[in-house]
A and B are shown apart, each in its own frame.
Chain A
């Protein structure tokens, strides 16, 4: 059968445009799949490598007040504890040169950098820090611009710039860089920390659970919490991470799952494209199929020929998809792993990815083309060889043909475009599927982004602050408020109280563990706090022990509006509060509650004091917020008031948005890929239509049609297909968007609301119109260039 294969090969070579179309159709889907398979495999492997190499701890406890070495030794001796290290987290202001502006930084100190056992911080350059020296996390070097190793940076100690030498650069497996953080992390010894006026006691315990299991870790957390409480130390936060999982594994798994779904969608759409294109190719090959049958070709022989052709298309597509997928997957893994401070090895090609692509690139197109080929080859010899002249086919026998024939008043070329659009219903339908799919996915992704941003805006609107300042100790409200109000651009100042508590329902038995709670005490006359309520009501001026609870926490505890909870601040007996409302709040991992400051102050013994200032500005652009943040801090420190942390709303929103922004960027890239499939499909459909209607074009030319007339027919068809897909995609996107956003939120652990992005409808209309015109331009131009002689001569 060598000759017949030669025919197939030459058919491909002589129709490079069509060959390129089919190859591109297959390559896109295979490329997307390969890229994601490679990316996922590399990321999963490198995350495990990174975790296991660092000898991770599995239970992290934040404690208050910080503990000393003796307590740490006691913890190490507890049953179930295989090992533990103490860590001190602190904050400071720093600058790289004496003239620079102060910026926030995180300080981390451990017992001894040279004899680490857990969560290994590795030295990359330079030396471990000595006295009055620091080292910096390597992923923070480029974004924050510290001096070179050996150079001096400056930290704020009692309003004086104290120089510290930069001794080296390290990699901390638990550190991540921008855009997830907005400040650098410096590592230093405990004595240097003490020299900076900070406590050298441990406020974080990182523990290796012996013979790790989730049950053992839970039990150990409970026992250690009880043991520490007996010593007057509260556990303010606890986190358990399995030893073979990166602490961001869940997020990365979710992200890669979404990307896999998108890749499969790309593959599905490219498969539809292949079906459509093979159908069209076979339609063109009908006379030749008839001849081959006339001269003795069996159906099986001819079917095998064309399927072999599809295999060749698949092999050609692999030439593109394999190298691009391999490099793209590695690049994707490297980019994503860089974000979470995991090292990815130099470029490598994964056999598993190659295997998956090879199989997909060959088998999927053959499966897609099988039925079209069988159908096409099944045409009777009579039909196949009798195709000459224009023929009438059976156009006019369907209800849609007769319906469209009644549409009058359009220019003749537009009438033809309209009727031609529906001449080949199955081909049009397949083309529409890819365009509709692309539109739905685009609107879903934009709606997801819009939902996230709207949720954030709603939440931050509920807080109402432009700048927030945390003090190092409780401050008198009547002292701090005038200082802040006197600063320019300040519109309103409210002093709040932030406190940590344990909570439970009064009726819960002792076996039910308390839950951590971040309590915010708000002034009765607050103007800033206007939260989004999901049940019940807000706090009323004459409320006493009324509390607003985060809806997630309420759900976990089984607490409804009207029911009561107990709050235990550690000093004094627990107090009972009535839940009057549930609020939508994402702060504190969903463990927040809001009540009146004056009542909280009575319970805590800090009447007339606040721990946090929330400030609303008159002008609140980013620049204004940052300037105000600086000036307010200076004003407070000038009065000897210690400032612990400051934050502007726009920076906080930006950091929260950055994580989602990365995900939506990746999703939009995948959407662009799917959109490209849709455009290729449309262009291919129109190209094949031009080839099929060559004789019609010739007749049009023979009766006076200009090139423009011919072009309008085909571009009109393309535009109609595009716009029709847009009409169909909008309602689907509204419904699918809800499902998509819900699953996306679950994946990234964000309990956001769904907001359909209406602007995405119009953006997609503009895109699909542009794509349609672009996709139809070349076929239309080709059609317009066909002469009467060329099209009506026998070929």
Chain B
């Protein structure tokens, strides 16, 4: 399907972000603009201090721009009140963190259920069914009743992914979601992301990992608070792989802002 005709899911319009700290004023983003279509898999790269995490924070609403506008699914979020934004984010954006950020005293299942309770989506009986389905999707049904500190890093990140999917948001955002994982596990988790994109989710992630970046269809380069012109690249041959090495989706290099992959074959959840 050609997503070029779909309205933008993410629209960042001339966003500037300044911080005032003990060391003085710093401009982290200098009038950045970006659009992401539904179903895109977008990577964000750049050296430390380049502003990539700040850009992600603008998109998730975790931070607000000094000037400019951020629109998600047609709704401007940078002017929303905190409460409205929290609810919007719970419903529309699934955030995956580098350090997992699971609530330590809730089990994996309970962490997954929590966003549904906060946002009051799904009937109570349906919530548990859905949570189990999400855990199955990420391969954690056997760990549903365990507490986060008994899980490996990869398992925790998969639990965090299940939580991010709890309210079926159209957009998923990860800030270095594989940064705390070994390469093998990172690969498996990445595969999960690819599977989700194949299922129609839009995914934006910050990554330092060159290998993983090479597998992302569209990668944006950030440096010194600006998106570098001509440095956005699209994988010429992007393939999504299943855990057993089978190709489950591929794209062929196209220039332009972005495009969806071809519909993937049915995939089994990878076990990271």
Contact = CB atoms under 8 A, between A and B. Distances in A.
Interface of A: 1-4, 6-7, 10-11, 14, 287-288, 290-301, 380-382, 385, 388, 392, 394, 396-397, 794-795
B45 interface: no
Contacts of A293: 82, 86
Nearest to B166: A295
Interface in B87-133: 87, 89-91, 95, 97, 99-101, 103-106, 110, 113-115, 117-119
B101 A296 contact: no
Report, nearest first, the 3 A-B pairs whose CB atoms are least far apart.
Answer: A296-B90, A10-B105, A296-B118
A296 B103 contact: no
A288 B114 CA distance: 12
Nearest to B117: A3
Given A298-B86, A388-B99, A794-B99, A3 B114 contact: yes
B16 to A, nearest CB: 16
* Chain B interface bracket (under 10, 10 to 19, 20 to 34, 35 or more): 35 or more
Contacts of B37: none
Contacts of B167: 296
B221 to A, nearest CB: 23
Contacts of A394: 21-22
11 contacts: A1-B117, A2-B117, A3-B114, A3-B117, A7-B103, A10-B106, A294-B101, A295-B164, A296-B91, A381-B86, A396-B22
Given A7-B105, A794-B180, A294 B83 contact: no
B160 to A, nearest CB: 10
B247 interface: no
Scoring A3, A287, A295 by chain B CB atoms within 10 A of each residue's CB, the highest score goes to A295
Nearest to A12: B105
B118 A382 contact: no
Interface secondary structure of A, over-half rule: helix
A388 B166 CA distance: 25
Given A295-B114, A296-B167, A385-B62, A397 B106 contact: no
B60 interface: yes
Contacts, number: 95
Contact of A6 (B61, B87, B104, B106): B106
B239 interface: no
A293 B115 CA distance: 10
B115 A296 contact: yes
B57 interface: yes
Given A3-B110, A388-B99, A394-B22, A295 B63 contact: no
Given A3-B113, A294-B89, A299 B82 contact: yes
Scoring A1, A4, A292, A385 by chain B CB atoms within 10 A of each residue's CB, the highest score goes to A385
Given A298-B87, A382-B62, A14 B22 contact: no
B48 to A, nearest CB: 12
Contacts of A396: 22
A295 B22 contact: no
B259 interface: no
B83 A300 contact: yes
Given A296-B115, A298-B86, A385-B101, A3 B57 contact: no
B118 A294 contact: no
A288 B97 CA distance: 13
B113 A297 contact: no
Given A292-B118, A296-B119, A382 B106 contact: no
Nearest to A11: B105
Given A296-B89, A394-B22, A396-B22, 18 more contacts: A1-B117, A6-B105, A6-B106, A6-B110, A14-B105, A288-B103, A292-B103, A293-B82, A294-B101, A295-B89, A295-B114, A296-B115, A296-B119, A297-B90, A380-B62, A381-B63, A382-B57, A397-B22
